[in-house]
Amino acid sequence: MGLILEYIPEQEPAIFMLVQTRPVAVGNNQHGTNNSPFSENSYYSFIQISAWIARIAKKNPKLVSRIHIGNTFENRPMYLLKVGKPSGLKKAIFMDCGIHAREWISPSFCQWFLKETYGKDKNMTDILDNMNFYVLPVFNIDGYIWSWTQNRLWRKNRSTISNSSCVGVDLNRNFNVAWGTIDASKKPCDETYCGSSAESEPETRAVATFIRKQLSSIKAYLTMHSYSQMILFPYGYSYEKTMNHEELNEIAKGAVEAIESLYGKKYRHGTSAATIYPSSGCSDDWTYNQGIKYSFTFELRDKGKHGFLLPESEIKPTCEEIMLAVKFIANYILNLTD
Ligand SMILES: [Zn+2]
């Protein structure tokens, strides 16, 4: 780990921050400038991810467009990438990464996914002929930067709270679904502080507003977390089964089998409440109740040996196996008749 200077362009103009990271991470061109700029074996700072998002949209205008959906609490612009060939009304899958700051493997997967969409993968090309993806590479930008610069294990966003010296809301407790009821704290200093109200946070509002506008096309919602190796589906706020529980269970089972087929890693599957723990205000329950009947939460590697500090050597195999699960779900959605 070396100390390097990293320029933070938004919000704090002309401030250079000391950033502890790998000595190779910034200021060189080793990751390329074309369609595959990312090394498979590194985590990337938000500045690098942000520059890359802009670059791939500019270089691939026929396949990728960059959409501004709002700004974070610290006023950084939130961009998602729409991936797919423009042609009439198509089904879409919305995928976000990095809602929890410290889960670095999650943004790595969104980057991997985008990298894989550049035509070298035949199945992916077929999928993108018939479907769009909306990909939000880093949901919680302010928190992600904080996890790089100040506190590696930071989880929440960075909003300040009146009458409290504590900072941050758990964005995955801030959605308007059973808000503030289960495994969600009303105390600002807690890790699962759910905010002053549902959608109190600009990041949550930006995502929810975008999804509400696109409900007619979005058929599936995928949200990437770590760790514990699971594919989860609604509900989290109740032990009740959803209307299409058996179908969701079959899809999740197929997805975990696809994962295991590659490196033998076992992922569990089931409802959030029964498989990990009950929780409220979570994004996948909210999207499900908006009518997106194929909503899944992924918990990526590992099972706790390294936890949030997953070594960079595991980025590539994790992304490869998760890609198979995402493709499995995408193919399922494509084959739906309605
Ligand atoms: Zn998480």
Q: By residue range, what is the domain housing residue 304?
A: 44-335
In a domain? residue 100: yes
Of the listed ranges 59-73, 80-94, 157-171, 322-336, the least confidently predicted one is 80-94
Share of the chain above pLDDT 90, in %: 78
- How far apart are the C-alpha atoms of 17 and 159, rounded to whole Å? 20
223 CA distance to ligand 1 centroid (A)? Answer: 9
103 CA distance to ligand 1 centroid (A)? Answer: 6
**119 — pLDDT class (breaks 50, 70, 90):** low
pLDDT of residue 115: 84
**244 — pLDDT class (breaks 50, 70, 90):** very high
- How far apart are the C-alpha atoms of 270 and 285, rounded to whole Å? 14
Beta strand segments in 216-261, E: 218-226, 230-233
**Residue 182 confidence (pLDDT) above 50:** yes
Among 57-71, 78-92, 142-156, the range with the most confident prediction by mean pLDDT is 142-156
pLDDT, tens digit (0-9, with 9 covering 90-100), for 73-92: 999 999 999 998 877 679 99
In a domain? residue 22: no
* 247 among known catalytic residues: no
79 CA distance to ligand 1 centroid (A)? Answer: 20
Element (H, E) at 310: none
Share of the chain above pLDDT 70, in %: 87
100 CA distance to ligand 1 centroid (A)? Answer: 5
156 CA distance to ligand 1 centroid (A)? Answer: 10
Cα–Cα nearest to 78, from 141, 134, 143, 172: 141
Give 103's contacts (C-beta < 8 A, 6+ positions apart): 224, 225, 226, 227, 300, 308
Residues paired with 77 in a beta bridge:
71
The answer to whether the beta carbons of residues 109 and 98 sit under 8 Å apart is no
CATH number at residue 171: 3.40.630.10
In a domain? residue 280: yes
Ordered DSSP codes for 55-120: HHHHH-TTTEEEEEEEE-TT-PEEEEEEES---SS-EEEEEEE-SSTT-THHHHHHHHHHHTTSSS
Q: Which of 74, 201, 299, 321 does the annotation list as catalytic?
A: 299
Number of domains in the chain: 1
Secondary structure class of 132 (helix, strand, coil): strand
Of the listed ranges 82-86, 91-95, 163-167, 204-208, the least confidently predicted one is 82-86
pLDDT of residue 12: 31
Among 29-38, 60-69, 113-122, the range with the most confident prediction by mean pLDDT is 60-69
In a domain? residue 23: no
In a domain? residue 223: yes
In a domain? residue 12: no
101 CA distance to ligand 1 centroid (A)? Answer: 8
236 CA distance to ligand 1 centroid (A)? Answer: 13
Task: Enter the pTM of the model.
Answer: 0.89
Of the listed ranges 98-112, 116-130, 133-147, 201-215, the least confidently predicted one is 116-130
DSSP secondary structure letter of residue 242: P
In a domain? residue 32: no
Residue count of the chain? 338
pLDDT of residue 327: 96
In a domain? residue 109: yes
